[in-house]
Structure formats: C-alpha cells, structure tokens
Structure 1
Amino acid sequence: MQKSIRVRLSSLMFLEYFIWGSWYVTMGTYLFTNFKADAIQVGSSYANLSIAAIISPFFVGLIADRFFAAQKVLGVLHLMGAITLYFISTLSDFSSFWWLILLYTLLYMPTMALSNSISFSQLKDPGKEFPSIRVFGTVGWIVAGLLIGFLGVESSVLTFRIAAGSSLLLGVFSFFLPDTPAKKNADNRLSAILGLDALVLFKNRSFAVFFISSIAICIPLSFYYSFTNSFLNDIGVSNTAGKMTLGQASEFFFMLAIPFLFRGLGVKKMLLIGIAAWIVRYLLFAYGNVGANMWMLYAGIMLHGICYDFFFVTGQIYTDAKAGPAVKNAAQGLITFATYGVGMLIGSYVSGFITESHSTTINNETSYQWQQVWLMPALIAGAVLFAFAIFFKDKLKAVEQIKN
C-alpha cells in the first residue's frame, strides 16, 4: 500500500472516532447539567444511536453501495452532520435536542460502515493491514476524551462544537480519499439487502444462545455508556473524560492479546470471562469512591478491555467462523443489528428507568443512589452469565476448529 493512502486512511479512522468520542461519552453529564434532564431522558437520548444503528445498514445497502461512490457519500454525511452538531449546541430545550440527536445519529452511523468499506477497498491483505489502520480510531477516541477532560468542558456546548468542527474537517477531507465507486454487481435480492441469508445460523443451538446473549448483555453495557461519566462527576472525580480513556487503552491492549488468549481458552471460556467482567466492573463501581477505594473506580474503567473485547470481538470471530464465506457479511450485520441496534436500544431505556427509580429530588436538586444503580446491571449480567454457561455448548479452542 502506498504511504500516502495509508496516511489518508489512518487519518480517516482517527477523525471518524474522534468525532464520536467528543460528544458521546459526556452527553449524559451535558443533559443533567444544562437541561436538568432526568435519567429516563438521558437513556432515551442514547437510544437514538441504536435506532440509527438499526436503520443505517438499509441505507448503506440500498443506496450507498449501489448508486454513489462511498467517499462522496461519506463527505456529504459528515458535512450535514457538522451543521446538525452545531445547531445541537445552540438548543435550550430537551425536546429539540432529542430530535436533532436522532437526526445526527442517522447521519453518523452509516459513516462507520462507509469508512470500513473505503479502507477495505484499498487493502490487499485486510487481516494483516486493517488492524494497523483501525487502531487510529481508538487513538482518536482517546485523544477526544483527553482533550475534553483537559479543557474541563464536559458539560459545555464546546463538546458538540468540537465534534462539529471535526465533522466539517472530515467532510471536506472525505472528497480526497481514494475513490471507492458504487458496486456494479451488488446482490439485489431483498434477502441479501436485509441480511436474511444469515438466519440459517439459528439452526445451530449455540449460535442462537450466543445471539440472544449478545442482546441481553447490551443491557448492562448501556449503563456504562449512558451513566458512567455522570456518576464519576457526581461523586467528585476530576478530569472524568480523560480518566475514562483508560478503558480504550485497555481495549487496545486486549485487542492485541486476543489471538493468543483465544487459542488457549477457546470460545466458551472467552465469552464467559467477558460476561463475568461486567459483573466485577459494576461491583467495583458500586463500592468504589474518591477516597480509599479510588482504585476500584480505576479498575472498573480499565476492565473495559476484557468486558468489550472478550465478548464482542470474540463473538465477531466466532460468528465469522460459524457463518462461512457464503453468509459471512450478512452474519456480521446480524450481530451488529442485535448488539448496537436491538440490545443497546433496550438497554438505553432500561438503564434510564432503573437509574431514575433510584433518584431523589429535594429543592429541585436530584441525587442518585449510585450503589443501588450499579448493583442492578451486575445482577442482570449475572443472570446472562448463568444462562449462557448452561445453554452454550461450543467448546472449541481455535478458529480452525470452529471452521471444521
């Protein structure tokens, strides 16, 4: 690959995830502070990303892949996103905010698939080359968190304006990315567009259990994304956005370790460890504090690598191997639909209702019983762990064994 192309693709990934990390992590804190929103409203705001995740594959499959060059669609979406993000920063009522966040996520979510498509089109060996490019997305998310935390603007409109400026930059930059023309021979069958070909995988009991568990584990996952930043700010942790980037650093480390751990532990143990890590994380949050138990908060954040990579990345590998070449893409789309779509949608609302049920309001000031809040996702993850351990039967130790 030419060095100039590698630099452009790496920059694409950096900006793609820098934009997301600029506003997503701190949105709950922003809503609590500026709109006096309740936890249900915060949860519903985060749910918009899941609604967009459900819809975006149809947009990419029906329009972007078939009629337009990917880099041009990417550029237009990010330019429109920049305008939307700026207007979001000017709002003073929650109702308008909710609708514009929905609009923005509908514009943003397709860009993730388009970014991957543009990158893969330039790679001769995606298995070797893509990780070294995609890792700049993780770097972008970390830099965004460090910047927001360093500037001390977690509850400021600047989070959205920084994201807007970055989206404007990427929108213009997209038109200078390598040309990725529309697919002339795209499969026009409705079942292919909707990813229904992958439904054949449900004939396998273990895959069906994995699919249901993927949805269920997103309920405790949603608590982390929606309320961790608000929780840490509420109990007095400084530079919260910056400290939360330790989770992405952990994710980066375990991403590199997964191929080695996978061979030794096998599918089931990796997935079980991933689920168990969510239980441990929320217990650490429940009993951690800014005083003597501050280490528990750090440990809970840094468990993100195990929580996310051991279940979701291992699950993607497992799905890829189970599906085989014929329905590989449809199967990955199905799992994305289950997790970022259905699972996170349910989880965002459930986390909002549960968090709000543990709140008290005195003199128009709302406080949350965070220990009780965090014990709830720990219990949910425990139930998922128990069911998964009983019903998931695959005990294969390597990708090659799964394929056989």
Structure 2
Amino acid sequence: MNLKLQLKILSFLQFCLWGSWLTTLGSYMFVTLKFDGASIGAVYSSLGIAAVFMPTLLGIVADKWLSAKWVYALCHVVGAITLFMAAEVTTPGAMFFVILLNSLAYMPTLGLINTISYYRLQSAGMDIVTDFPPIRIWGTIGFILAMWGVSFSGFELSHMQLYIGATLSVLLVLFTFTLPHIPVANQQKNQSWTSMLGLDAFCAV
C-alpha cells in the first residue's frame, strides 16, 4: 500500500473512532441515562486526568522497551474493550471508571500515532514539515464524518455510538498489523536505572 495512503487511513480511523462518541456522549448520559450535570462533568474530566501522565509513561515504554506499533495496538485493544463495556453501563460511577480506563488507553495513542507517522515518513526520505500535515488533516475529516454519521443515524442518544467507537477501534487494531516494524528508539545496554525510566530529562531542569 502507498505510504501516504496508509498513514491517511491510520489518522482517519484514529480520530473517527473518537468522534463517534466524544461530543455526543454527554447528551446520551443526560437524556437517556438521566445523569446529573456533576456526574457528566466527572466522566469528561477523566480524559484530562489520563492526559496528564499516561502519554509520558507509555511514551517511555515505546522509547525504551516495546515498539511503538505494538504499544499503539495494545492501547486500542483496551480502548475497544472499554467502549464495549461503556455501552452497557447505566450508573455514573461505573461510567466514570470505564471512560477513565478508556482515556488511559486512548490518550497515549495521540502521541504514538505521530511517532509512527514521523518514523515512516523519515524512513522513506520524506519531509515531515511538508508531508505530514496533509496526512494529519484526514484525522480531522474522520472526526467530523463520525460526528455527522452518529447524528444523522439518530444515535446521539443511544449506546450505539459507543458500539460504533468500539468497532472502529477493532478495525484500527487490525489495520495496525499492516504497518511495518517500528524499532525501539533506544536499545543501549548498561544504562542507569534513571535512563531506563526516562528520567534523564529532569536533570536539565
């Protein structure tokens, strides 16, 4: 498959699955599940909680030990499972917990997909500055089309939006298998434990 086409599909699916439920989940929780405003706010706050530390932690894993490709795929496996679970949840506490787990898995993929794309473009001798933006725009297109699809199909107030997101996550995992191997960036031996944990950056602070 053409490299740019492959990365466009990857970006499209990455944000399409997010757009299928992110903006309409609040309406589903408020109207259908009868959650109050505080509960809905708590559910959405889980995205911010996960974004604070998970991208860094899994970024270290992808940099030091495990290929970014497999970390990325594993995250979306967890994402698919948690979205399937969320579709069956009917209480605020359970919804917060499940969406938090989903966010812990999804937030790191926003950085990992860039790592994968940058590596592939550089390996092909392409310029990231000029070649990546036309690829990334397909993520925005995917997000918008997913929102429209959920709205026009009448799933805004239905748990079907979560099933759609979960299904797209599974498709993304399968598509990830078509990507070539992404080597671990740092494979040096005899590193100190601070280097292995990625803590050297704090020495410059």
1:18, distance to aligned residue in structure 2 (A): 0.4
1:5-404 matched pairs, under 5 angstroms: 5-123=3-121, 124-184=126-186, 188=195, 190-192=199-201, 197=204
SS at match of 1:182: coil
* In 2, Cα distance between equivalents of 1:12 and 1:59: 22
- Cα deviations by residue, 1:31-76 (Å, 9 ceiling, x for unpaired): 1012211111111111111111112233223212211111111111
CA contact 2:54–2:107 (8 Å) conserved in 1 = yes
* In 1, Cα distance between equivalents of 2:175 and 2:26: 30
* In 1, Cα distance between equivalents of 2:159 and 2:186: 43
**What amino acid is the match of 2:33?**
F
Question: What percent identity do the matched residue pairs reach?
Answer: 37
* In 1, Cα distance between equivalents of 2:79 and 2:33: 22
Where structure 1 has 5 or more consecutive residues not aligned to the other structure, the ranges are 200-404
- Cα deviations by residue, 1:110-146 (Å, 9 ceiling, x for unpaired): 1111100000002221100000110000010011011
Structure of larger gyration radius: 1
CA contact 1:75–1:173 (8 Å) conserved in 2 = no
Q: For this pair of structures, how many residues does the alignment match?
A: 194
Relative to the length of structure 2, the TM-score reads 0.89
CA contact 2:12–2:138 (8 Å) conserved in 1 = yes
CA contact 1:9–1:177 (8 Å) conserved in 2 = no
SS at match of 1:13: helix
* In 1, Cα distance between equivalents of 2:167 and 2:111: 21
SS at match of 1:23: coil
CA contact 2:12–2:139 (8 Å) conserved in 1 = yes
Report the more deviating stretch, 144-153 or 35-44: 35-44
1:84, distance to aligned residue in structure 2 (A): 1.1
SS at match of 1:165: helix
Relative to the length of structure 1, the TM-score reads 0.46
CA RMSD of aligned residues (A): 1.8
SS at match of 2:20: helix
| Greater RCO structure (CA 8 Å; 6+ sep) | 2
Where structure 2 has 5 or more consecutive residues not aligned to the other structure, the ranges are 189-193
**What amino acid is the match of 1:172?**
L
* In 1, Cα distance between equivalents of 2:167 and 2:107: 18
1:185, distance to aligned residue in structure 2 (A): 5.4
**What amino acid is the match of 2:59?**
G
Query: Which one has the bigger helix percentage?
Result: 1
* In 2, Cα distance between equivalents of 1:114 and 1:121: 11
